[in-house]
């Protein structure tokens, strides 16, 4: 009889290494059943590293005076989108810190302009905002939104994001669903204070959110943050988590994250073999990309965008998979739409 992954004890035992070979072959099998051997590519444009927040884990937090800050112009962003289109990338992700100097309207204008010029899906990853702002951006043409819940452990959350409440983050995710975004969330593995029990619960709680996209990466300690002395999240534990999440969420788009690669060279390739079906190369211009230093190793090389894309192509080949030229919507979201239309 197959193990029931809806039971917390089963999740816990696989997180602890009950049977990795079996776990990884199951998750890879499910990924292949749903997505074949295609990998969806998302070009990520990190357009500002200014942030008004104070997250204890992130190098962009406001008290970090050691990094030079940058903000791209709309012309520079459009140039990145142009490269994406030329390279056959069908989704771009616009990500930034919570930059207080960029207005909601400016972002809405940018979204509308991209949608007018290019046949490309837009994912936003711009943090916690109001319902009105999410609505403005959705109406401007944004298709998807990524907002990680970071952890399901309230205490761990409130220690990692001082002055913020976990419930507010959850509310944002609910708003995004209400506004019909393809909605993504996820968490870091190994945040200080997390235990294996709370973590197993988190996987089941995350699954209950019925997400279209799920991002999971190890916590990587940044030297300019209060968490500088904490240990990094374990890579094998992250891969096991990814595999279990795939088994529980067969229709979700799941990236193999760059944090995996930062924590251990080659781990992003392994992620593709154990259930991930998405890869997100950075399209941020070489001039500034090293400054988007959320965690050590993130955008660490000054490689050109073309070189980074070529490296991703190679990695996909090495994983025995192929670069999909599909726009890569989540089957979970498409099913939901179909169901709504039949009601
Ligand atoms: N400002 C936005 C988007 C940028 S941060 C937001 O916070 O949602 C994107 C993600 O990077 C975060 O959700 C977090 O999960 C991840 N991240 C931040 N610091 C990290 C660290 N030290 N190690 C690993 N991942 C980190
Ligand atoms: Fe800002 Fe996001 Fe970093 Fe928090 S995780 S400091 S919100 S960029």
* Cα 97 to middle of ligand 2, angstroms: 5
Instruction: Flag whether 4 is in a domain.
Output: no
Query: Mean pLDDT score of the chain, rounded to an integer?
Result: 95
Contact 295, 259 (CB under 8 A): yes
Q: Is 215 in the pocket of ligand 1 (CB under 6 A)?
A: no
Q: What is the pLDDT of residue 43?
A: 97
140 lies in a domain? yes
Whose structure tokens read 């520079």?
Answer: 76
pLDDT bucket at 31, cuts 50 / 70 / 90 = very high
Section 173-195 average pLDDT: 97
CATH number of the domain where residue 328 is located = 3.20.20.70
pLDDT in tens, 250-303: 999 999 999 999 999 999 999 999 999 999 999 999 999 999 999 998 888 878
**Residue 308 structural domain:** 9-337
The ligand minimizing its distance to the Cα of 214 is 1
pLDDT in tens, 75-91: 999 999 999 999 999 99
- pLDDT tens for each residue of 59-72: 999 999 999 999 99
Whether 252 is in a domain gets the answer yes
Using 50, 70 and 90 to split pLDDT, how confident is the model at 209? very high
Q: What is the mean pLDDT of residues 204-218?
A: 97
Residues 22-30 have a mean pLDDT of 97
Separation of 61 CA from ligand 2 center, angstroms?
Answer: 6
The tally of domains found in the chain comes to 1
For residues 63 and 52, the answer to whether their CB atoms sit within 8 Å is: no
User: Residue 183 above 80 pLDDT?
Assistant: yes
Q: How far is the CA of 33 from the centre of ligand 1 (A)?
A: 30
Residue 320 has pLDDT above 90, yes or no: yes
Say if 268 falls within a structural domain. yes
In this structure, are residues 218 and 263 in contact, taking their beta carbons and an 8 Å threshold?
yes
User: Per-residue confidence at 333, pLDDT binned at 50, 70, 90?
Assistant: confident
The pLDDT tens digits for 137-146 are: 999 999 999 9
Average pLDDT on 164-175 reads 97
50 backbone φψ class: left, alpha, beta (φ>0; ψ -120 to 50) = beta
Q: What is the per-residue pLDDT for 334?
A: 85
Give the per-residue pLDDT at 294: 96
Residue 1 within a domain: no
């Amino acid at each position: 009889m197959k193990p029931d992954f809806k039971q917390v004890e089963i999740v816990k035992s696989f997180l602890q290494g009950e049977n990795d070979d079996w776990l990884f072959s199951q998750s890879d099998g499910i990924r292949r059943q749903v997505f074949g051997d295609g990998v969806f590519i998302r070009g990520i444009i990190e357009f500002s590293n200014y942030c008004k927040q104070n997250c204890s884990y992130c190098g962009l937090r406001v008290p970090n005076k050691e990094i030079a800050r940058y903000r791209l112009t709309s012309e520079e962003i459009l140039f990145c989108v142009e490269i994406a289109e030329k390279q056959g990338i069908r989704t771009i992700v616009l990500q930034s810190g919570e930059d207080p100097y960029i207005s909601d309207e400016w972002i809405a204008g940018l979204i509308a302009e991209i949608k007018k010029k290019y046949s490309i899906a837009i994912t936003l990853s711009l943090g916690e905002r109001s319902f009105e702002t999410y609505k403005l951006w959705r109406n401007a043409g944004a298709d998807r939104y990524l907002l990680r819940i970071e952890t399901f452990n309230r205490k761990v959350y409130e220690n990692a994001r001082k002055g913020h409440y976990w419930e507010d983050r959850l509310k944002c995710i609910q708003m995004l669903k209400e506004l019909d975004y393809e909605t993504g969330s996820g968490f870091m593995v190994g945040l200080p204070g997390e235990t294996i029990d709370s973590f197993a619960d988190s996987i089941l709680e995350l699954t209950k959110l019925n997400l279209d996209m799920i991002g999971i990466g190890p916590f990587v300690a940044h030297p300019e943050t209060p968490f500088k002395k904490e240990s990094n999240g374990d890579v094998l534990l992250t891969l096991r988590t990814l595999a279990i999440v795939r088994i529980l969420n067969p229709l979700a788009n799941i990236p193999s994250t760059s944090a995996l690669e930062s924590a251990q060279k080659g781990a992003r390739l392994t992620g593709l073999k154990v259930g991930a079906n998405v890869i997100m190369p950075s399209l941020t211009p070489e001039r500034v990309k090293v400054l988007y230093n959320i965690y050590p190793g993130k955008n660490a090389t000054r490689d050109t965008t073309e070189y980074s894309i070529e490296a991703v192509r190679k990695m996909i080949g090495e994983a025995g998979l192929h670069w999909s030229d599909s726009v890569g919507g989540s089957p979970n979201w498409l099913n939901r739409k179909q169901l709504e239309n039949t009601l």
